[in-house]
Amino acid sequence: MTIGSAFVLLFLVIDPFGNVPFFVAALNGVHPDRRRKVIVRELLIALVVMVSFLFLGKVFLGVLGISIPALTIAGGVILFLIAIKMVFPNHSQSNKEEVEGEPFIVPLAIPYVAGPSLLASELLLMSQAPDRWATWLLAVVAAWAATSIIVFFGSQVASRLGARGLIAIERLMGMILVAISIQMFLNGAELYLN
């Protein structure tokens, strides 16, 4: 996997366009003068979590005794399920968490930006090629930076794209993620069979 494909994978898993409405809703109760400070704080917390897990995830994997083929297949399955929800959302169930007052760590930093699927993707990248840690770190930081720009200007993005535009982008991201997840599954099966 190249740095570009790792960036695309991480960016799609974070799904910043899909998270914009959740950020806007979670910050409704925050004074307008504080919103940007809260967003910056939450994004920095998410970055710390993402980078920490990138390097400590391998230890976690070793403790659990999970093989690389099993992790690759599991990552493909998880990403597939996430992608299916992006393409065919369940409107009876909302991913939005109720937040009273100013959000701190939950739900903005975790799980909206640094969610379980992103952490699993990082774990997968590092377990497949730990010697390329600098590449993975750069991909994580680039995906975080792109997400930060979209989320920071979330209200402007939401008003410019409108509800239909955000939905269309999320569906497109979901379709790309379906293809990536199938490829991950096939790679894991090939590793296992060899």
pLDDT tens, position by position, 178-188: 888 898 889 88
> What number is the average pLDDT over the span 87-113?
77
pLDDT digits (tens, 9 = 90+) for 123-145: 888 888 889 999 999 999 999 99
In this prediction, residue 97 carries a pLDDT of 55
Q: What is the DSSP letter of 14?
A: H
Task: Judge whether residue 94 has pLDDT over 80.
Answer: no
Alpha-carbon distance values, 115 to 46, 131, 194 (Å): 9, 24, 32
Classify residue 69 as exposed, middle or buried by CB count within 10 Å of its CB (0-12, 13-18, 19+): middle
Looking at the DSSP assignment, which residues form a beta bridge with residue 106? 104
Token pair of 79, please? 């990403």
Token pair of 154, please? 């979330």
Distance, CA of 64 to CA of 56 (rounded, Å) = 13
Residue corresponding to tokens 């982008």: 169
> What number is the average pLDDT over the span 44-48?
97
Task: Judge whether residue 96 has pLDDT over 60.
Answer: no
In this prediction, residue 59 carries a pLDDT of 83
In this prediction, residue 162 carries a pLDDT of 86
Q: How confident is the model at residue 93 (pLDDT cuts 50, 70, 90)?
A: low
Distance, CA of 5 to CA of 10 (rounded, Å) = 9
> What number is the average pLDDT over the span 51-62?
86
Query: What SS3 state is found at 106?
Result: strand
